[in-house]
Structure formats: C-alpha cells, structure tokens
Amino acid sequence: MLGAAGPAGAQDLAAEAAAVRDKALSDPTAWRIVESLTTEVGARPVGTAAMARARDWALAKLASLGFENVRAEPFTTKAWIRGEESAEVVAPAPQKLRILGLSGSAPTPKGGLTGEVALFPTYQAMLDQPAGALDGKIAVVTQAMTRTQDGSGYGAILAQRAHGATEAAKRGAIAYLVRSLSTMQTRAPHAGYADYAGIPAAALSPPDAEQLERLAALGKPVSLKLVMASTVDPAATAWNVVGEIRGRERPDELIVVGGHLDSWDPGTGATDDGAGVAITTAAARLATLHARPRRTIRVVLWGSEEQGGSGSAYAAAHAAEVGNVVLAGEADIGAERVWRVALPAAGRDHPAVKAFLAALAPFSVVVSPDPAVRGGADVDGLVQAGAPVVQVAQDASRYFDFHHSADDTLDKIDPKALAQATAVWASLLEVVANSDVDFRPRGASSP
C-alpha cells in the first residue's frame, strides 16, 4: 500500500520505512529510555553531580542498546547553579511569591534585598523607560505567552526572559522579575537562560505575576524582598555522549541526530529533553535492527543545551567531519506527535524522500514547502558549517505548560505520542541511512 512507484530499490526502501515505522509504534524502547533517565537520574543540570550521573547513565544505556564507539566527549562550559531562593511581598499585603532564578542571575546580598516594584505589563513598556528611570527599583514584566502549535509563542517573547535583566539593569533596576514563559496557570515558575546582568533575576509563576498586577493596581507602593543565592562555575566540565551504528558501505557518511542530556533542575527533564534523547536513540536502534545500515547513524546526547555550549563544542570537535554529515537533526520540542516535517532543499525528488513521505502518510504529517533552516540549538553549529538539517516538528501546544518547570515529569508523556514521534524519526533514519540521497547543498559528493 505504501510502496512508492520508482526506480529499483525504491519500493524496498518504502517497504522498509513502513516496517520500521510500524515496529516503532508498538516498541517500548523510547518509553523505557525516558522512564529510566527521569527515574534513575532525575534532574541533571550542567555543573552538578547529577549531570555526571547522567553521563554514566547515557554511556551504559547506549552500550546496552548495542551502539558502537560509545564515548563521552568532554568540554568546558560556564554553569550557573541554583541556591536558596525566596520572594515575598513586604507591603502593602505581606505574602510569599513563587520564583525561580534565571541562569544569568546574580545572588542577592546575604540577607536579601528589598525594593519597590516598577511593574510593566509589556516588555516594550520597560524598554521605553529612559536610563535612570528604574533606579533602586525591582523591575517586573508581566507579559503573558501565547499558546501555539509550533512553539513560536515562546520565541516571540523570549527576549523578556533572556535579556530583560540586562535592560532593567541599564535603567538602574536592582533586580528583575519576569512572568514565566509558560502557558500553564500554576504556581510553578519556569526557569531558563538569561544573560548575566549583574543583578538578581528570576521568573514568577503566572498567578504570582497576576497577583503583583492586582497589588500594583491597589495604588499603593508594592515592595518586595528577594533572597537568592546562586553560584557560578566558570569552567564546569560537561560531556556530549556519542554512540554509533556504523555503516556497512559508506561508514564515513554520517547522520548526526540526538537530544540533549542536560535539563533544568526543578523537574526531571522528561519532555525537555529526556523525550528527545529517547526518541532519537530508539529511532536509531529501530532503523538498524533488521540490518546494518549503509551509512553511519551517530546519536549524540548533548551535554549543555540549557545553558549553552554543547552544540558549539560538538561542532568544534568535529569540524573536520562536517562535509561528511549527510543529515543532522535534534529532537528537542517535547514528547507529542509529529505534525510537520521540514527537509533540506536538496534531495526532495529522491526515492528515499518519497519512501519517507509515504511512510508518514498514515500520520497526516504536514510536509513543509519551505526547507528546514534550523534543527535545534545543538545542531546550529553543524548547520552553520554547512551540514544539511531536518526539522521534525512535534506538537508544541502543551510543551510550554511544563517546560523548564517542576512539572516537567514523566507523567506528562503520552507513550503513544512518543511512539509516533519515534516512528517518524526511525523511518527517516531508515531511508537516509540505506540510500544515497544527498541533502548537501550543491550536491556535494560523498567522500
């Protein structure tokens, strides 16, 4: 049914892609990987003992699944490590607030700091303030995030988390609080990366941000006390954990896929990115169980995506190989079903691509008319160096309910959705690893 008409071999490829897809739909490997990682390691922020345990877990897991050349590739990166954190309204109505420090946060003085709130309902309203306008104030931005299927609601207001403290400090603020980039109305704040701005910086839960809006609307000055104690390791060791299924015919041609092993600390990193680790690892295994592939599939479990560094470290360590990378991709958008794929511009008419699209047909996945230009933070370095990239978009509608929060736990993963995403990746790996499809720009020839 799914076999595409085409040159000799194309029907085989289509049949194999469909078989791999169907096997993946009922295979428990991906679920078991993410269950094991989130249970036996849990949260694994870079720079902590838990991250070292995650490395050991990954080495053992890849080896036990039959991957070859399993290794941890160390690199050095800056790590921000959370300490004690609390926030409370001092006046006009004393009460506790829920916060999570952002990675660019400075600690408060030992006993905390107290200041009056300058509240802005939009980030732009704060940016519109002149220098000195926030002198001595705690700047608060309460702009809410929009829920979207493609996750674009996040990027749309990411600046208020990533750069807000810097902009607040420029205008004189002594601390910065931002409504979490969250689509969930719970008291769990969402952590995340922020530039270092020299002042304490934290995310408020959405209800806490709204509470500050109501308190500010009472018309009296609102003052807060913050206590935050973080430390920074400027040269923490982290690891990209790598495993391969070596190709039988063209072992130097590499398909580089993976997820990131590190996570934020409040949850167990189930959807971000235990799911991506599980999906790509299981997909590589499923695509190669029936036969060793023609090309090499390399799974990389990147070691510092959340605070940055693992993608650039990988690209630097493997710069000489970039021309051999026939496809790169990262699964880092949760555990829900794939709803859209974007492929490189080249190779669209190759029978392997047709076989892949035929395998996708039962899932009603949208094939983007535009070429993929990004595949995840950890493959940006490869992409910039010229490697072709695939974007496998999973439904992100609920991803930012839990992302970077205490609620990113295993129970948020639907095993059937995880299996569908694994099936898509496995079909893709199957056809690319067992064909000569060339996604490289200008049809760069194989080495």
User: Helix or strand or coil: residue 234?
Assistant: strand
Distance of alpha carbon 133 from alpha carbon 126, whole angstroms: 9
**Contact status: 412 vs a second copy (CB under 8 A):** yes
Closest approach of Cβ 285 to a second copy, in Å? Answer: 22
**Contact status: 368 vs a second copy (CB under 8 A):** no
Point out which span in 20-28, 90-98, 288-296, 351-359 binds a second copy (CB under 8 A).
90-98
Binding mask 198-237 for a second copy (x = CB under 8 A): --------xx--xx--xx--x-------------------
**DSSP of 353-387:** HHHHHHHHGGGTPEEPSSPP----GGGHHHHHTT-
* Residue from 410, 428, 432, 437 in contact with a second copy (CB under 8 A): 410
Assigned token pair, 75: 């690199």
Q: Which of 16, 253, 305, 330 is catalytic?
A: 305
Distance of alpha carbon 342 from alpha carbon 332, whole angstroms: 15
* Residue 426 DSSP symbol: H
What residue type is 69 in one-letter code?
A: N
CA distances from 153 to 93, 150, 184, 308 (A): 33, 8, 13, 21
Distance of alpha carbon 275 from alpha carbon 30, whole angstroms: 8
Does the annotation count 305 as an active-site position?
Answer: yes
Closest approach of Cβ 25 to a second copy, in Å? Answer: 24
**Contact status: 272 vs a second copy (CB under 8 A):** no
**Contact status: 186 vs a second copy (CB under 8 A):** yes
> In terms of DSSP bridges, do strands 231-245 and 95-97 run parallel, antiparallel, or are they unpaired?
unpaired
| Residues in the chain, overall count | 447
What kind and span of H or E run contains 77?
strand 68-81
**Contact status: 263 vs a second copy (CB under 8 A):** no
* Residue from 28, 74, 83, 92 in contact with a second copy (CB under 8 A): 92
Among residues 206 and 347, whose Cβ is nearest to a second copy? 206
Q: Name residues whose C-beta falls within 8 Å of residue 435's C-beta, 6 or more positions apart in sequence.
A: 9, 13, 294, 350, 351, 352, 355
- Cα dihedral 425→427→433→439 (10° resolution): -70
Q: Name residues whose C-beta falls within 8 Å of residue 442's C-beta, 6 or more positions apart in sequence.
A: 346
Residues in region 31-50 near a second copy by CB under 8 A: 35, 39-43, 49-50
What kind and span of H or E run contains 302?
strand 295-302
Point out which span in 75-83, 87-95, 339-347, 349-357 binds a second copy (CB under 8 A).
87-95
Binding mask 128-157 for a second copy (x = CB under 8 A): ------------------------------
* Residue from 138, 139, 188, 278 in contact with a second copy (CB under 8 A): 188
Point out which span in 261-269, 338-346, 369-377, 378-386 binds a second copy (CB under 8 A).
261-269
Residues in region 47-86 near a second copy by CB under 8 A: 49-50, 53
Point out which span in 64-72, 179-187, 283-291, 337-345 binds a second copy (CB under 8 A).
179-187
Distance of alpha carbon 263 from alpha carbon 372, whole angstroms: 25
Contacting positions for a second copy (CB under 8 A): 35, 39-43, 49-50, 53, 89, 92-96, 98, 185-188, 206-207, 210-211, 214-215, 218, 266-268, 406-407, 409-412
* Residues assigned a catalytic role: 305
